[in-house]
Amino acid sequence: MGRHGTIAGRKAAQDSKRAALFTKYGRQIIVAAKAGADPDYNATLRVAIEKAKAIGMPNENIKRAIKKGSGGTDGESFEELIFEGYGIGGVAVIVEALTDNKNRTASAVRSTFDKHGGNLGAQGCVSYMFARKGVLIIEKTDDIDEDALMETALEAGAEDMITHDDSYEIQTEPSVYTDVHGALTDAGYEFVESEVEYVPSMEAAPKTEGDLKQLKKMIDILEDNDDVQKVHHNCSVDLEEIG
């Protein structure tokens, strides 16, 4: 399945990084709650809460994050940062971060690129190779009618639905991502993953097993950083399959 990975691979990756995901989704909730603490009137917050619940984040953590974001306690201020560069083998990498210390985050990201054969570049150096899309992944099961799923998604504003061996991948424009997510949630569908992502229009891959392992290590270290929300890349190889 190439860079898309398998459902089993996605779930295993989520399980291994669950504690880190709690921190990342907590920050998403804090930021979203600044626009209003009621998810019925704040679609971005609703999506953030649903994503947090899907990975098993305790309700108390969710409530605490909403309270922080809506000003119920001394608020944390997070800045959104985007880093662009190349990993080993010419693989394009985009790192999205939410941080309360820009210098700390920039230093950590740059160091990780440098130590693993990568090169952090200027803004725009690789983003032209990606399109910004909402991506919602639903596991393929006997209970799901493909035509009904596609109809619900398209009626809500989705752009396309791609059928993989074990999943359905729904793509949207970022502006309607929360609408599509809400409509599918209301229809009873559950997501393995759902994010606004950078989807590559061209792919690359290191030529040796050693370089693939080096690339995977770099991305794993970036993803383990609490400040990093998401790492996007255009490697054509499923890195979760690399030992």
CA distance 158 to 179: 9
Total-model pTM: 0.88
pLDDT of res. 40: 93
Q: What is the DSSP letter of 51?
A: H
Q: Which residues of the chain have pLDDT under 50?
A: 1-2
Residue range 82-138, pLDDT digits in tens: 999 999 999 999 999 999 999 999 999 999 999 999 999 999 999 999 999 999 999
Order of strands across the sheet that contains 79-86 = 119-121, 79-86, 92-99, 228-233
Tell me the C-alpha to C-alpha distance, in Å, between residue 103 and each of 23, 81, 100, 211, 227: 19, 11, 9, 29, 11
Q: Please state the CATH superfamily assignment of the domain spanning residues 2-69 in this structure.
A: Integrase, N-terminal zinc-binding domain (1.10.10.200)
pLDDT of res. 202: 95
Q: Where are the domains of the chain?
A: 2-69
pLDDT of res. 149: 98
Amino acid at the residue 212: L
pLDDT of res. 239: 87
CA distance 29 to 105: 20
Asked if 20 and 224 touch (Cβ cutoff 8 Å), the reply is yes
pLDDT of res. 6: 79
